[in-house]
Amino acid sequence: MASPTSGGEREKLVSKLPAPLRQALKVRAAQLSTDVQDAVTDGIQAWRAHPEPLPTVDTAGAESFGTWLPEGLYDAFKQDCVTREVSYIQGLAQAVALWLAQNPVGDEAAPTRRIIVCNQKGGVGKTAVTAGLAQALAEDPSELTPAEKPSELTDEPGDAASMAEVAARLGLRVLMVDYDPQGHLSHQLGLKAIPAGADSLITHMLNREQAKTPLLDLTVAIDEARFGDRLRILPAAFDAFLLDSGLTMFRGPRHAALERALAQLEEHFDVIVIDCPPSLGLAMDAAIYYSRRRDGEKPGSSGLVITVEAEDTSAQAYGMLINQVGSLTSDYEIEVEQLGLVVNKYDSRRGYIATSSLDKWRSLGSPSVLAVIGDLKEQREAVRLQRALLAYAPESDQAKHMRTIARRLT
Ligand SMILES: Nc1ncnc2c1ncn2[C@@H]1O[C@H](COP(=O)(O)OP(=O)(O)O)[C@@H](O)[C@H]1O
Ligand SMILES: [Mg+2]
């Protein structure tokens, strides 16, 4: 098929395109480093060459759209529309949909995202958010029932465009890493911590040469139909209690120890979500370093999700975490992004302390508040039953909050 003329004369196409398609076109073209005009040209040429009629695209509410095509192509395309008895708007929508289908984003275009869920305070919901976020990223959005969808994002027409594109970017291969020696995440999903001395993330970090079992073999699939085979966990290790002291004696770049261990897993996952320990030691330094923005990585891809509560000690803990991030970014000349805050176990009945604290979190502006989650029973029930929350209570508010967070982070 002829490729679009570059350098030749172009003429303006003025038509209409449904907002979700226009948005998807813009994002995909950017991902593939292609101009929108070349993408549309390719799409129209493929549409013209396509032997069979293409499925009708819903063009209700299409908005004005303009781009530039090689001279003569628009007229030829319009002629084809007449012959095929479709409107120009329908023809263009089909051509763009065809281009999107024929130009998927390859794995190489999307490096593994690294999200660490942190706060050195215990009991604020790091583990709950790690698990819920990972599950929501792994779910196939096209299989959600209306009752499972987070209403705040689906009801707003203005968000329809981003929903279409975001939906295309969920259903990901996700790894949860239980990086807290207490092993709550592993336990909640029915797994035991790896025994002392056996190969684990910790041996791969501190004793790489001696570790025999590849880390992928230590990961365990979460066996629930809705995650397909996309969601896995790297369980905690008993030895994790020794990690901070082990890193003190570590010969080599200790801040890069987690990165060097997890590197072997990255090709197998689109996103790695790490449940951090409630501490600010060397293990945490290694996690923060791992979440830094890599060369060429898009903003908003990797970084910190910080779980907090609406009370004063959470604000103090946040301040200390941010200080630690500040030292690392200046020591290693790296950029670490705060992807957002999750205000958890929020209860406005607690009065002024709760409401004014929430206002303070919101007034930060950056990082933004990704979700405000109440104290909800399904979370505790899922933990007790050792089930993944989104499989145990897929229609619960807690599950919907997790989907909202996942969508805001994609
Ligand atoms: N929104 C919530 N509603 C009710 N219980 C919650 C909520 N978030 C967390 N929990 C429960 O609170 C406890 C502490 O949460 P967890 O995620 O383990 O915190 P952390 O990892 O920060 O120590 C757990 O029993 C968890 O199930
Ligand atoms: Mg925890």
Shared domain for 399 and 309, answered yes or no, is yes
For tokens 């209690």, what's the residue? 241
DSSP H helical ranges for 11-56 = 19-31, 36-49
Domain boundary among 52, 85, 102: 102
- The DSSP code for 291 is T
Locate the ligand 1 atom nearest the alpha carbon of residue 398 and give its number.
1
CATH number at residue 348: 3.40.50.300
Based on the fold, state whether residues 75 and 33 are members of the same structural domain.
Answer: yes
Residue identifier of the C-alpha nearest atom 8 of ligand 1: 125
Domain identity same for 172 and 203:
yes
What's the confidence (pLDDT) of residue 171? 86
Output the CA angle 281-284-289, nearest 5 degrees: 130
Domain annotation covers residue 30 = yes
Our count of domains for the chain comes to 2
Predicted confidence at residue 3, as pLDDT, reads 43
Centre of ligand 1 from the C-alpha of residue 125, in Å: 4
If one residue of 274, 341, 380 were mutated to test the ligand 1 pocket, choosing by the most ligand atoms within 8 A of its CB, it would be 380
351 Cα–ligand 2 center, Å: 27
Which of 121, 318, 345, 400 for a ligand 1 pocket mutation test, highest count of atoms within 8 Å of Cβ? 345
Relative to beta strand 220-221, strand 231-234 is antiparallel
pLDDT in tens, the chain (410 residues): 344 444 568 899 999 999 889 888 988 888 787 899 999 999 999 999 998 888 888 888 889 999 999 999 999 999 999 999 999 999 999 999 999 988 887 655 568 999 999 999 999 999 999 999 999 999 988 788 889 988 765 444 444 445 555 556 678 999 999 999 999 999 999 999 999 999 999 999 999 888 999 999 999 999 999 999 999 999 999 999 999 999 998 888 999 999 999 999 999 999 999 999 998 999 999 999 999 999 889 899 999 999 999 988 888 999 999 999 999 999 999 999 999 999 999 988 888 888 999 999 999 889 999 999 999 999 999 999 999 999 999 999 999 999 999 999 98
Q: Are 93 and 47 in contact (CB under 8 A)?
A: no
- CA 156 remoteness from chain centre: 21
Query: Is the domain of 182 the same as that of 258?
Result: yes
Could you list the residue range(s) of the whole structural domain that residue 86 is in?
10-102
Clarify whether residues 73 and 215 are in a common domain: no
Q: Which of 75, 102, 129 is the last residue of a domain?
A: 102
Q: Are 35 and 168 part of one and the same domain?
A: no
Report the amino acid identity of residue 212: K
Task: Tell me, yes or no, whether 4 lies in a domain.
Answer: no
Cα angle, residue 130 at apex, residues 247 and 406 outer, rounded to 5° = 130
Domain boundary among 71, 102, 133: 102
- Lining ligand 1 with CB less than 6 A are 122-128, 184, 278, 307, 344-345, 373, 375-376, 379-380, 383
Question: Of 368, 256, 305, which Cα lies nearest the Cα of 131?
Answer: 305
Decide if 42 is inside a domain. Answer: yes
Instruction: Identify whether residues 133 and 90 lie together within a single domain.
Output: no
C-alpha–C-alpha distance, residues 387 and 15, integer Å? 50
Q: Which atom of ligand 1 is nearest the CA belonging to 380?
A: 27
Give ion ligand 2 contacts, CB < 5 A.
Answer: 126-127, 184
- Hey, what amino acid is at 83? T
Cα of 308 from ligand 2 centre, angstroms: 12
What pLDDT shows up at residue 158? 43
Instruction: Assess whether 77 and 132 both reside in one domain.
Output: no
Provide the greatest CA pair distance for the chain.
Answer: 75
33 CA distance to ligand 2 centroid (A)?
40
Residue 3, domain member (yes or no): no
Residue 165 has what pLDDT? Answer: 57
142 within some domain: yes
Contact between 269 and 124 (Cβ < 8 Å): no
Could you tell me if residue 5 is inside a domain?
no
CB 223 within 8 A of CB 168: no
Indicate if 171 and 42 belong to the same structural domain: no
* pTM score, whole prediction: 0.76
CA 100 vs CA 42, 48, 62, 363, 410: distances in Å: 10, 15, 17, 39, 18
Rounded-to-integer distance, Cα 34 and Cα 3, Å = 13
Peptide bond before 214: cis, by omega within 30 degrees of 0? no
